[in-house]
A and B are shown apart, each in its own frame.
Chain A
């Protein structure tokens, strides 16, 4: 049940360019990513391959991104798969599979080229199979201290390179939700299943669906706020298992917006004391297992402040939440906690709707820089100095050429946000006509009609 892709690290929409390409890579062949991985794993010279998802073609490559005269380049047609052993800067087990480019010993001595026999003669000569290349640290004799090399210092024949084990190389803080290291085995040594595969275990954590969870390849991750990083295993008999990863000792303050009177974003930093759901049900204490059993035991989540029965967000949900004291309602969001304002302070003010505003604020209320009115990118403007000569559309200053009732605005330099309002507020006392009383008879078309019969019958 192990996929041949498990030996590879994937870079999406990326191509490896070798200049000049010598020897030229072999011609592309047909095949799925897994078939190409199998071919590449079998071939000694192959270290990576491009896979074109569209044409289901792949091109085996004798180099990686760490090879000389090679560079990575964006290319939406390809995914680049590279053998992990050539990319990892840490070792698995005794590191006999290590193929990285470290070339100094743990004491800082430069390594002697394996090809050379001076200053130290030896019998470990390079071959296509043993990976002894250049003067890189290697472990041809499975030394339990890991990769080593002969040194260029005549007085020091050989020395360990001190390359860390992968489980120690990248440590984890809190529950490891932000762990992005390259451990791909569970604590019992079982290899992890790739997140982008649904076999041997089907699962909901598609990398595309959870872009912020780092679900790369088959590395241990913590997408569901478990106690620590884990993975689905390649053992059909065991769905998932925790991984062993060193906990960071250095006190790295977690960059969390701690708030008490309101919550920001998803409220993971909310540390206030609201402890009732909006429907008036008290929250269940986090250190209690009744009426609802759960795994959010406070001592296992030291960073989440699961105190008392306060609303909290230990698992990255939409908002702070809690287990409820009512047996029939397991959890409830605490959306009634106010959201913290997330806008820039107003730098200037405007009268009326701001149609005569002539100030020089050129930022939106979220702090995004305004696009110049005369520019055509990133947004092609429907309103411009040409179409509205009288509106003083100068530079990228906020203006209100269409008498928008919510004030001056601008096109923004953020490709995803065509326009937004600015960090300018109505001047106090500026009279905005209050809501009009009923306007004259209104007409609607193609909307707001429903089959009332369904209303009575439901379904």
Chain B
């Protein structure tokens, strides 16, 4: 996260490869389900033996004695509808919810976040020297109206994308944050409205940042968890 500060996001998980290295983020939407982005995974039927999610700690690489850290193997990956760029990861066992680990809400189907809502991104990714890269960082971004964003991107905006406005200070997600949450406070609850996807440049100051619009895929998410 570039231009952010250390913070607490108890639904943000660190996804780690067989060598235990963090490579992407995710969001805990059910005790045994994490949402992330397709870009982070080699295929829709990848063998994820040895891959894990890490929750309950603010540290990217916590020491062995971190009190609330939970590390849970990933059992399965399920790819979302074609253009969604979403994946759901089924954990080998349910996460234990506590003050450090919480579920984030899913939005109502096709819900539109009102423009100007200040939402939050979180991750253990590259900070480009703007914050301590060894802990979880968060940053606030205002949602941009669909039409305005579409105009700024000269009509290239997709229905499945959600925009936040560029900030002069250069605030945004970066390498290692992909798959993490864009969470917005709605009715006093934090709701997963967007998923961080790779862009060609981090924290642009001249263009809106794009996220996967989760409310378009809530029916698929519920269906996967039900099935």
Interface residues of A (CB under 8 A from B): 204, 206, 208-212, 265-266, 277-280, 317-319, 328-329, 332-333, 335-336, 339, 342-343, 365-366, 379, 382, 402, 404-407, 414, 416-421, 434-439, 441-444, 446-451, 454-455, 458-459
Q: A339-B38, A444-B187 are in contact. List 9 more A-B contacts (CB 8 A).
A: A266-B42, A278-B126, A279-B128, A279-B174, A318-B23, A436-B110, A448-B104, A449-B102, A449-B190
Tell me if A318 and B17 are in contact (CB < 8 A).
yes
CA distance in complex: A366, B79 (Å): 10
Check B70 for interface membership: any CB of A closer than 8 A.
no
Contact of A444 among B42, B174, B186 (CB under 8 A): B186
Task: Find the residue from B18, B76, B128, B174 having the highest chain A CB count within 10 A.
Answer: B18
The tally of residues in B whose CB lies under 8 Å from a CB in A reads 75
B42 to chain A, nearest CB (A): 4
Q: Could you tell me the distance in whole angstroms from the C-beta of A295 to the nearest C-beta in chain B?
A: 16
Please tell me if B168 contacts chain A, counting CB pairs below 8 Å. no
Chain B 75-93 per-residue mask, 1 if CB under 8 angstroms from chain A, else 0 = 0101101101000000000
A-B contacts, CB under 8 A, total: 171
Are B198 and A336 interface neighbours, CB within 8 A?
yes
Partner of B175, one of A335, A437, A458: A335
B151 in the interface, Cβ–Cβ < 8 Å?
Answer: no
Among B2, B20, B129, B189, which residue has the most Cβ atoms of chain A within 10 A? B189
Tell me if A335 and B178 are in contact (CB < 8 A): yes
B8 near A450 with CB under 8 A, answer yes
Q: Min CB distance, B25 to chain A, in Å?
A: 12
Distance of A415 Cα from B78 Cα, bound (Å) = 13
Pick the residue among A317, A414, A444 that contacts B191 (CB under 8 A).
Answer: A444
B47 within 8 A of A: yes
Tell me whether A450 and B42 are in contact in the complex, defined as CB-CB below 8 angstroms, given that A333-B175, A444-B186, A458-B7 are known contacts: no
Which B residues touch A455, using CB under 8 A?
7-8
Q: Is the CB of B227 closer than 8 A to any CB of chain A?
A: yes
B49 interface residue (CB < 8 Å to A): yes
Kindly state the separation between the CA atoms of A415 and B58 in the bound complex, as whole angstroms.
37
Report the minimum CB–CB distance from B196 to chain A (whole Å): 11
Among B8, B82, B215, point to the contact of A458 (Cβ < 8 A): B8
- Residues from chain B with Cβ under 8 Å of A443 in the complex: 187
- Which residues of A have CB within 8 Å of B187? 441-444
Cα(A418)–Cα(B107), bound, Å: 24
Cβ of B114 under 8 Å from chain A: yes
B47 & A212 in contact (Cβ 8 Å cutoff): yes
> Of residues 14 to 72 in B, which have CB atoms within 8 Å of A's CB atoms?
17-20, 23-24, 38-45, 47, 49-50, 58
- CB <8 Å contact, B200 and A278: yes
A to B CB contacts below 8 Å, 17 in the list:
A209-B18, A278-B198, A279-B201, A332-B126, A335-B39, A335-B178, A404-B223, A405-B110, A406-B219, A418-B227, A419-B223, A435-B159, A439-B110, A447-B106, A447-B189, A448-B102, A450-B102
